[in-house]
Amino acid sequence: MNRLYLLILWLLFSLTAFGQGKGNLQTDNGKTTNRVVAYLLEKLDVETAPLKGITKITGRENQKKALLNYFRSRNNVHHRINRDDRVRSLGNIASESDFELADDALKHIFVGQPAYPRFFCGEDIDWGSRPVPDNEWVWQLNRMNFWNAMARTYWHTSDEKYARAWGEQLIDWVSKNPNDEDHRYAWRSIEAGIRGNSWCELYQRFIDSPSFTPEVLIAFLTSLHDHASFLMTKYTSNSNWALMEAEGLAAIAILFPEFKEAPLWREEAFRRFNIEIDKQVYSDGQQRELAMGYHVGCISWFLRSYELARMNGMEDAFPRTYVEKIEKMCEVPMKLCHPDGTVVQFGDAWTGKPGQYNNQFMVWSKLFDRDDFLYMATEGIQGKAPDKTAFALPESGLYSMRSGWDPEAIFLALKCGPNGGAHSQPDNGTFSLYAGGRILMPDAGSYIYSGNPEGRAWFRQTKVHQTITIDNRNSAFAPKLLYWNTKKDLDVLVVENKSYDDLTHRRSLLFIDKRYFVIVDEVYGAATGEVGLHFQLAPGEPTVDKKNFSVQTNFPEGWNVYLQTAHNQSQMQLLEEEGWVSHQYTIKEPRPAFCFNINKTGNNPVIRYVTILVPYKDRKPDIKVRILNEPEKEPISKMNLEITENSSKKTIQYNL
């Protein structure tokens, strides 16, 4: 971004009666006006229709007014926020939270990362404010999500103070934030991409305001051009960043075709989307980073840009397979979220709220004409429940089993997948257990991104997940699906992970009678050391029976879980460990954590654990399990289990 241009723009704003709503330059500022308008006109296609002839208008003031009149009156572009909806939005669009954010923003009290308190950034706004040591605060401050709240509140109330304040803050931000090393906090490519898309939405809401003056338009368009030019140079392939970069570029190019470079921007944005949907999305529908929040975000980034292109007659830029892959992606939260709609916290994920994706499912149900999506959107009131209760996503290594589709159902999701990058964790084999509306054994979560590296590192240890370690070392990503079979009364999953160079972990998971689980863990290889089978419960005071190697939760109401582990050799210890779980960013709480520990020597090439996992309400069922196979020096290929419940016995077999 040109520093001279920024200085000019700052002078322009300083000498403008914008704060009084007049929108006219002072008489001693003519040269400044000329240079700023000339800068913008260089970027616009003024040689052909519809802007042809604007340079022939006498006087910069008249040119500025002509530009504003043109952009207010044009009808050749379309956006999902329809300006005609403004009247219908009076009194029914802004939420209570929108009003709070918008009114605080009028006083320069802004929200950065929303886990932290809002902060007064000064009468003369400091866009580099860092009230906490977490960089996420200043990065997200410069996404200006509070501006969207101001825009919705403006449509809700038609109160010009919101539009006027937005224009002032826009020009202030542009004038203070050149794209240089001193302002990296504002110019990461992810923030630039988010702003490119978000500002186009803001334009739709504010362009008809009397407070949207020629000065605001000049600042807005010149900065948009700088954003697009910057995004053309940034392409963070194979991550969610690439999609936000491309979305910002596409939004600017589609909504403002008057820029000379808009055709090139569109072509590049569409090219990236078509590349990334093939690179990032497995054939099973899961986005490669293996974290649900980012997965759903990627659906939005892929879909919104396609929809914007379609609205403007450009859908031919995307092949049919593009939309088919998006539909497959939309199935993933249906298959892998807890029955109440909360998120399984694999990788950088947070639990969220029940039904948090209902609105998305409603949109998807209409877009793809899916009764199962409608069922999810309406929590079973409309539509039809999915016809399966167990799902395997073998490429991403994510699996789920459930007793049904009501919010009280028993549910378990397990992960044994590839390295998903920075948002993934070395946790293959881990799982989350839910029953009766309660997450009984949640995955740890991720706690924080920036500002507390020790805290983030703690949550990224293999040993704080429901899986196997040796000497508490972090494991590798080397997954393999060995067996998957589902029946009415029995689901069986067998996965394997070569967790260390000389040690492999095989986990067999059986969901029996849609009521309880049996887990067979086999650890084999030449490695020696302390093998730990780790489990963690929801926060609470459990009952621990070290003699019988069992633990159980003790919630006074609702559902609990009973866990007992047996083994194929002596000297197993049940040890209590440090346990934490984080359901919200920056917030963690202690929870019970345990390790079934066995010292592996050269004399025991295979260690075998058998765990019964019984979610229950009221009275705990009396269920026991044992392996009938003779002790083997290799993992069992033909498993033979005996299940005893009260006085009744049955045998379960499967052959790999």
User: Residue 444: its pLDDT value, please?
Assistant: 97
d(CA 368, CA 348): 29
Residue at 324: amino acid letter: E
Q: Are 274 and 407 members of one domain?
A: no
Instruction: Give tens-digit pLDDT for 473-526.
Output: 999 999 999 999 999 999 999 999 999 999 999 999 999 999 999 999 999 999
Using 50, 70 and 90 to split pLDDT, how confident is the model at 212? very high
Looking from the CA of 616 toward its CB, the CA atoms found within 13 Å total: 17
Residue at 31: amino acid letter: K
Q: Are 276 and 395 members of one domain?
A: no
Instruction: Give tens-digit pLDDT for 95-134.
Output: 999 999 999 999 999 999 999 999 999 999 999 999 999 9
Q: Is 363 part of any domain? A: no
C-alpha distance from residue 491 to each of 30, 64, 119, 618, 640 (Å): 77, 68, 51, 25, 15
The structure tokens listed for 579 are 């346990």
Q: Are 395 and 274 members of one domain?
A: no
The vertex-37 CA angle with 31 and 43, nearest 5°, equals 140
Gyration radius of the chain over CA positions? 29
**Tokens 């006109």 — which residue?**
41
Q: Is 380 part of any domain? A: no
Phi, psi of 81 (to 5 degrees): -90, 105
Domain boundary among 239, 264, 280: 280
Using 50, 70 and 90 to split pLDDT, how confident is the model at 26? very low
What CATH number has the domain bearing residue 444? 2.70.98.70
d(CA 214, CA 67): 8
The structure tokens listed for 399 are 């699996």
d(CA 139, CA 136): 5
Looking from the CA of 519 toward its CB, the CA atoms found within 13 Å total: 27
C-alpha distance from residue 449 to each of 113, 143, 241, 452, 521 (Å): 11, 17, 16, 7, 32
The structure tokens listed for 326 are 């998006």
Q: Is 348 part of any domain? A: no
Binning the chain into helix, strand and coil, the percentages to the nearest 5 are: 40, 25, 40
Q: Are 456 and 604 members of one domain?
A: yes
Q: In angstroms, how far apart are the furthest CA atoms of the chain?
A: 98
User: Residue 604: its pLDDT value, please?
Assistant: 86
**Tally of domains in the chain:** 2
User: Residue 451: its pLDDT value, please?
Assistant: 87
Burial of 118 (0-12, 13-18, 19+ CB in 10 A): middle
How many C-beta atoms surround the C-beta of residue 125 within 10 A? 17
Q: Is 301 part of any domain? A: no
Structural domain boundaries, residue 453 = 390-620
Using 50, 70 and 90 to split pLDDT, how confident is the model at 9? low
Best CA proximity match to 459, nearest among 585, 582, 576: 582
User: Residue 359: its pLDDT value, please?
Assistant: 97
Would you say the pTM of this structure is higher than 0.85?
Answer: yes
Using 50, 70 and 90 to split pLDDT, how confident is the model at 24? very low
| Mean pLDDT of the 367-378 span | 98
What CATH number has the domain bearing residue 20? 1.50.10.100
Active site residues: 294
Give the three-class secondary structure for 364: helix
pLDDT at residue 151 is higher than 70 = yes
Which range among 18-22, 39-43, 591-595 shows the weakest confidence by mean pLDDT?
A: 18-22
Phi, psi of 258 (to 5 degrees): -70, -20
Using 50, 70 and 90 to split pLDDT, how confident is the model at 603? confident
Judge contact between 193 and 248, C-beta under 8 A.
Answer: yes
Q: Are 91 and 240 members of one domain?
A: yes
pLDDT at residue 155 is higher than 90 = yes
pLDDT at residue 305 is higher than 60 = yes
C-alpha distance from residue 36 to each of 39, 60, 183 (Å): 5, 10, 22
Domain boundary among 280, 295, 313: 280
Q: Is 285 part of any domain? A: no
Q: Is 549 part of any domain? A: yes
Using 50, 70 and 90 to split pLDDT, how confident is the model at 62? very high
The structure tokens listed for 301 are 């980034």
User: Residue 629: its pLDDT value, please?
Assistant: 86
User: Residue 17: its pLDDT value, please?
Assistant: 34
d(CA 587, CA 584): 5
| Mean pLDDT of the 128-146 span | 97
User: Residue 232: its pLDDT value, please?
Assistant: 98
Q: Are 84 and 214 members of one domain?
A: yes
Q: Is 353 part of any domain? A: no
| Mean pLDDT of the 310-315 span | 98
Instruction: Give tens-digit pLDDT for 567-600.
Output: 866 789 999 999 999 999 999 999 999 999 999 9
Domain boundary among 230, 261, 280: 280
Best CA proximity match to 134, nearest among 421, 455, 348, 349: 455
Judge contact between 389 and 405, C-beta under 8 A.
Answer: yes
- Report the length, in residues, of the chain: 656
User: Residue 19: its pLDDT value, please?
Assistant: 35
Phi, psi of 570 (to 5 degrees): -85, 175
Q: Is 344 part of any domain? A: no
Contacts (Cβ under 8 Å, ≥6 apart) of 170: 147, 216, 219, 220, 223
| Mean pLDDT of the 170-188 span | 97
**What per-residue string of b and e applies to 394-407 under the rule 16 or more CB within 10 Å gives b?**
bbbbbbbbbbebeb
pLDDT at residue 28 is higher than 70 = no
User: Residue 16: its pLDDT value, please?
Assistant: 40
User: Residue 31: its pLDDT value, please?
Assistant: 58
Which range among 383-392, 431-440, 459-468, 624-633 shows the weakest confidence by mean pLDDT?
A: 624-633
Peptide bond into 50 cis (omega under 30): yes
Phi, psi of 331 (to 5 degrees): -75, -25
User: Residue 30: its pLDDT value, please?
Assistant: 52
Mean residue pLDDT of the chain comes to 94
User: Residue 264: its pLDDT value, please?
Assistant: 98
- Going by the DSSP 8-state scheme, the letter that residue 183 receives in this structure is G
